Structure formats: C-alpha cells, structure tokens
Chain A
Amino acid sequence: MTAVAPTRPKPVGVIGPSKGVSTFFETTSSWWGILALLLIWEIAGQVADLVWLPPVTEVIATLWQLFVDGVIQPHLGASLWSLFVGFSVSLVVGLIVGTLMGLSTTINSALDIFVNAMLFTPALIFAPILFAVFGLSDVTRISVVVLYAMFIIIINTAEGVRNVDDPLLDMAASFGASRWTAVRRIILPSAYPLIIAGLRLGAGRAVKGMINGEMFIALIGLGGLSASYGKSLQFPEVWAMALFIMIVAIIINQGVSIIERKLTAWYD
C-alpha cells in the first residue's frame, strides 16, 4: 500500500515557516512573480493578436462582466454545493472504510487493491455510467467528486490507523481499555495527522472532480459554463473561467491548510 502523504504533513503551496505568521501574502509566495507573469501575458496578448490568447486586461474585464451580468453566480453556487456534498460523503465513508481497513487485515486485503486502483484511475472514466444511471441530476456530479476525493482519504486513514504505536496500545490494555476505547482514545488520535493530511489532499482532488464532472455534463456549474464557452470558442470567457477556477482553488486550499494547522497544532 502506498502512503501518499508524509507522516508530518507539509501544506502544499506553502513556502516559509509552516506555522505562526501565515498570511495570504506569504503563502502566494511572491506577488512579484504573479505581476511579472500577468505583464508578459498582457504584452504577448497585445502584440501577438492571437484569437486564443486575449490580453489579460480583456480576460479580467470579461470575468467582471460575467459577474455583473449575473452569469457566473448561480454556477458558482451549484459547484460549491456539489463540492460540499461530495466532500462530506467522501469524508464520512473514507474515515469509516479507512479505519476498518487499518484495523482488520482481512478487510484490508479484500479492499486494498481496489482502493489503490481507484486512486490512480481517472474517475471521469465512470462519468458516462454515472450519467446513464443518475441522468442530469446533482447526484451525477456529486458522485464524480466522491470518486475523486474518497480514495486518498481511505488510504491515508488506513495507513494512520495501521501505524499506531504498539506500546501505547499495550499501555491502554494494562489499564483495562476495551477494543473500542483503544480505537477511540489511542488509535484515532495517533492516526490524526495522517488523516488530516488525507483530508487536505482529498479536498484538492474534490475540486478537480467537481470541475471535471461539470465539464463532462457541460450544463451546470463552473466547469459546465467553461465547457460551453469552449465549444463555441469564446476564448476570453474560457480564460476568464480558468482564472476564476484557479482563484477558487487557491482560496479552498488556503482555507483547508489553515484548518489543518489549527487541528494539528499539538503535533510537532
């Protein structure tokens, strides 16, 4: 089984001290880098005059217009809803299945190969089947999110549970702890850092799943909107959506990292 995160999780995209003063400025690493990139983009767009590379000012204006016209908001709402539901389902199922796999070698050997296969298989492969079963309903998109996010949570949770320090279990047993008490008071707390790392990785994958699922169905959500612009070759809108989705992804990643650091403050 592959342990996908290090025991001591380092937040992705964070440069510098991982604790203490952590601001958006610090974590986006360098405003200068971003500014330079935007400048190059702007000049290239102006000079080259390619239909697929509109200047950044035009892209930003387009994005602004999408908001002003109220085009983007309902899609954003739909996206975040399927992300929220899909991630919650992944969380609950992932923690339960992961804990069981970590505790029982029988369950582990039964599921291990499937879980690992699903981790590396692009879940979009299953989208047509989900579409056939659930049609245009939210369930299709939510399912894609779950298929993206759940397996990394399972794997990290199982690994964390398996890595429990045996002397601690011994100690708990010596004070008369039942199996369930040992799980609750020893195994899960010691698996906690890996579980939290799994949740963070899962959140990133959930965002991917959200957009991919929507692009496949091409009707609803940020991904759906992007796909429909793509089909009609509206490049400024395609760029505007890409930019916006990146911003959403950064905000979600930052949020999850902050929660992660709060939750694992004792662990260092």
Chain B
Amino acid sequence: MISIKDVSHRYTAKGREETVALSNVNLEIEDNEFVTIIGPSGCGKTTLMRAVGGLVQPTEGEITIDGQRVTGPHQQAAVVFQNFALLPWASILDNVAFGLELQGMGKADRIAKAEQYIKRVGLSGFERKYPRELSGGMQQRVGLARALAVETPILLMDEPFGALDQQTRRYMQEELIQIWEGDRRTVIFVTHDMEEAVLLGDKVVLMSARPGKIEEVIDVDIARPRDPEAVERSEVFAEKKEYLWRRLREMYQVTA
C-alpha cells in the first residue's frame, strides 16, 4: 500500500517567487490498484507521482510504501516517461534491459527477461532495431517494457501517451488495459485526458492548481476485465466523464 500523508512541496526556481506545487496532499493507494491522476496543468500531478518514485523529496509530510518511508529512488517503483527517454545509441533489447542492468542483473538473465517483456508489449522481431527506427507508439512500448521488466510492484506513468496521436493513444490504452489485467501492479497514471482517466482507472484523483491539492477521489465502478469499447458505450463512463468535465470546468473558471 502506498500512503501519502500531509505532503506539501514548494520550490523556488532561480529568480522566481516560491511555487507551491503540492499542498497538504493525503492519499492511500491499495496494492494492484490502477489510479489515474488528472487536473489542470500546474496542479502538481507529476510532482506527486515523482514523489512516490523518490525522484522528488517533498518539503513536508511523508510517503510510505508498505510502511517504509520513501527517501530517494527505490526499487519498488519503475517509471514510464512522457518523452519515452530511450537511449538512442542502444538497441531495443538493450533499452529494455537497461533497468535490469542498473540493478546488477547478469547479462544472460537480463536478456532473457527483456525478451520476455518485449514479447509482452508486442515488439518481437524488433530487438535489434534502434529507437529512431520505431514510431512513437512503438517507442513508448519500449519504455513500458523497460519499466515492466524490472518487475516492481509499482508502475509510475507520467502522461505516457501524451506525445502520441489520438488513434495511437487509443490503441495503446487498450493494450495497456490488456497487459495490466494479465499482470497486475499498482499503477499511478498521470494524464490530462478525461476519457483516458476514466477508461483506465479504478480511481480517478482530481487535483486543482495553485496550490496543488486533491479535490476529490472518484471511484470508477466499472468491472474488470474491461472491454474498452463496451466501457465507452456504458452509462457509467458517460456519467463519470461528464462529472469530471464539470469539476474541471469549475476550476478553469476560477483560474482562467
């Protein structure tokens, strides 16, 4: 279980006023839960996700994972990045094995494991290719395989499909649902796409900006396994989406 208690985070960029990225955030995430975080830009959703990964040390409060306090990058979580963050000079195989390599796994083992996850994300046959030879969607599959391969209980996804075109994004969402339902982990998925938030999440965490805080946690009571097309036609989906939009519109009226 991930437990976020009274977490606030402020920072001062050079020559700027202090920014309050997070203000008094409390949240509990159960094991194997899929949580999506949505909110206007500047609401600190990425900061919150990074804090769980130990990539940001909040100025106040604490985050614990199964009772252990997060003080830096740890082996409980792996990150999927919006810009893919692939090594351009390394093959797909080496990219997927990179996390395993940093964790000190021997060569034969990590290649076997990397191949297994390359297969799982549907990239078999591309092991010897380089990132520049792949489309954006395929590159993000590599990023996903790399994060899955280290087999951490937690997966942190920072707008992973935000850089993809709409069709590719839609397709990747379906694939992700399928992969995750076959291999459950705790997922924190940051997005700015309302449909994505509802389609994927067991819970949608709605945040507001300046200062970044949690407005509401919305349960998405749609059964698993989810068939994306059926979900999109369902009443619950339309209802949740509409509710999210209403809440987000209120926020924009305040800030815009």
Contacts and interface: CB of A to CB of B under 8 A. Distances in A.
Interface in B73-127: 73-75, 77-79, 81, 83, 85, 87-89, 98-99, 102-103
Contacts of A168: 85, 87
Interface in A169-197: 170-177, 181, 185-186, 189-190, 192
B85 A171 contact: yes
A171 B150 CA distance: 13
A167 B84 CA distance: 9
Contact of A175 (B83, B89, B132, B150): B150
Nearest to B83: A167
Chain B residues touching A, range: 20 to 34
Interface in A56-82: none
A72 B87 CA distance: 49
B39 interface: no
Interface residues of A, number: 19
Contacts of B83: 167
B187 to A, nearest CB: 15
Contact of A170 (B81, B87, B102, B150): B81
Contact of A167 (B53, B85, B99): B85
A267 interface: yes
The B interface is mostly helix, strand or loop, or mixed, namely loop
A184 to B, nearest CB: 11
Given A170-B55, A266-B130, A175 B103 contact: yes
Given A176-B73, A176-B102, A171 B89 contact: no
Contact of A189 (B55, B87, B130): B87
Contacts of A174: 53, 55, 73, 77-79
A175 B150 CA distance: 9
Contacts of B74: 176
Given A167-B81, A174-B53, A176-B103, 6 more contacts: A170-B55, A174-B55, A174-B77, A175-B98, A176-B74, A186-B87
14 contacts: A168-B85, A173-B55, A174-B55, A175-B78, A176-B73, A177-B102, A181-B102, A185-B98, A185-B102, A186-B87, A189-B89, A190-B89, A192-B89, A266-B130
